[in-house]
Amino acid sequence: MSKFAKAVKMSFEEWSASIDEGFNQLKVLRERSGMSQSQFADYFHIPKATIQNWEQGRRACPEYLLDLIEYKLLNEHLIKGFDDFMKQLNNKNNGSG
């Protein structure tokens, strides 16, 4: 199983930690959102070829843009597992978890 296939199946907490371990952040964000490259490109108004180049390492996605993409996906609850992770976090912070 590829590391990207593993990333899609891991918990949000595990996924969040994996970003710092050399995963292609853009690809993992896209996969966790459940979007194809075409859907992701359309959603963010970025050419599909640009998404492909970033994911395949031919070009680097600017760090600020990765941050903005992640922020938008998280705030629009488009990353799978995010809502469950936030419930767990809130329960721990409220002393009920």
**91 to each of 13, 14, 67, 73, 95, how far by Cα in Å?**
15, 18, 26, 22, 6
Looking at residues 56-81, what average pLDDT do you find? 88
- Residues 45 and 40: their CA atoms lie apart, in Å, by 8
Q: Please write the tens of the pLDDT for every residue from 42-68.
A: 999 999 999 999 998 899 899 899 989
* Band of residue 41 on the pLDDT scale cut at 50, 70, 90: very high
Mean predicted lDDT score pLDDT of the chain: 78
pTM to 2 decimal places: 0.65
pLDDT at position 43, please?
97
95 against 66, higher pLDDT: 66
Size (the chain), residues: 97
